[in-house]
């Protein structure tokens, strides 16, 4: 293993957890204890949401049979590494609300905040998480029995980080934290600016 600080350095003063969190593909063959897993979802619980609607839902696969269901709709390129993760999680949001009387325009935004909280708590607990969009969304909705008024956004692989040599060779070179754009590339004052 390597130190994340070899690849990442914050330009401004922030808590180190933000830099520590990244998306590895190598997972140890080690189950996540229930108390640690529930702590990760407890963090997601406290994410902000418009009108406190809390539209997020998480469907977990924690045993062999459940993981096989998930692998039936995940694309091959992701199966190559995520099949070793002890926990797979579908990130889902309720698209409507009785509060709004119809469509909830912030369901995806709020659910993204909950995923962010989950990812940071996972890193704090010594876990790694890797969200992926490479799966058949319609098949996932069918297999997981997700109603029409819910969207599925991502599948998360969650567990303890393994050594990169556990991965196929094509993924080993990519198994390191990526850097991020500087703040000036995405923060604008007063009006939008294309850079």
How many angstroms separate the CA atoms of 152 and 18, rounded? 25
Mean pLDDT along residues 80-92? 97
Residue 87, in any domain of the structure: yes
Residue 171, in any domain of the structure: no
pLDDT digits (tens, 9 = 90+) for 92-124: 999 999 887 899 999 999 999 999 999 999 999
* Angle of helix 107-124 versus helix 34-45 axis, rounded to 10: 140
Residue 192, in any domain of the structure: no
Report pTM: 0.93
Give percent above pLDDT 70 in the chain.
96
* pLDDT tier, 191 (very low <50, low <70, confident <90, very high otherwise): very high
* pLDDT tier, 175 (very low <50, low <70, confident <90, very high otherwise): confident
Position 3 scores a pLDDT of: 64
Q: In this model, does residue 1 exceed pLDDT 60? A: no
119 CB burial (10 A radius; 0-12, 13-18, 19+): buried
* pLDDT tier, 2 (very low <50, low <70, confident <90, very high otherwise): low
* pLDDT tier, 176 (very low <50, low <70, confident <90, very high otherwise): confident
Q: In this model, does residue 80 exceed pLDDT 90? A: yes
Position 100 scores a pLDDT of: 78
Residue 149, in any domain of the structure: yes
Residue 119, in any domain of the structure: yes
* pLDDT tier, 7 (very low <50, low <70, confident <90, very high otherwise): confident
Residue 191, in any domain of the structure: no
Residue 140, in any domain of the structure: yes
Position 5 scores a pLDDT of: 64
Range of the domain at 145: 23-162
Q: How many domains does the chain have?
A: 1
CATH number at residue 32: 3.40.109.10
Position 66 scores a pLDDT of: 98
Mean pLDDT along residues 79-97? 97
Q: What is the 3-state secondary structure (H, E, C) of the chain?
A: CCCHHHCCCCCCCCCCHHHHCCCCCCECCCCCCHHHHHHHHHHHHCCCCHHHCCCEEEEEECCHHHHHHHHCCECHHHHHHHCCCCEEEEEEEECEECCCCEECCCHHHHHHHHHHHHHHHHHHCCCEEEEECCECHHHHHHHCCCCCCEEEEEEEEEECECCHHHCCHHHHCCCCCCCCCCHHHCCCCCCCCCC
Position 25 scores a pLDDT of: 95
Sheet holding 87-94, edge to edge: 56-61, 87-94, 150-159, 128-132
Residue 186, in any domain of the structure: no
């Amino acid at each position: 293993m390597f130190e994340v600080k070899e690849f990442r350095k914050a330009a401004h003063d922030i808590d180190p957890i933000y830099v520590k969190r990244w998306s590895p593909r190598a997972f140890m063959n080690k189950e996540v204890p229930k108390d640690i897993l529930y702590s990760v979802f407890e963090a997601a619980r406290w994410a902000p949401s418009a009108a406190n609607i809390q539209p997020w839902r998480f469907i977990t696969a924690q045993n062999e049979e459940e993981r096989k269901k998930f692998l039936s709709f995940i694309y091959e390129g992701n199966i190559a590494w995520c099949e070793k993760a002890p926990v797979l999680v579908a990130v889902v949001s309720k698209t409507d609300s009785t509060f709004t009387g119809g469509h909830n325009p912030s369901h995806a935004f709020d659910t993204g905040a909950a995923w962010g909280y989950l990812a940071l708590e996972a890193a704090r607990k010594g876990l790694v998480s890797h969200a992926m969009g490479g799966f058949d969304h319609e098949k996932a909705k069918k297999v997981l029995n997700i109603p029409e008024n819910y969207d599925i956004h991502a599948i998360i692989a969650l567990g303890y980080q393994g050594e990169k040599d556990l991965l196929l060779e094509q993924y080993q070179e990519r198994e390191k934290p990526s850097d991020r754009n500087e703040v000036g590339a995405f923060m604008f004052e007063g009006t939008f600016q294309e850079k």
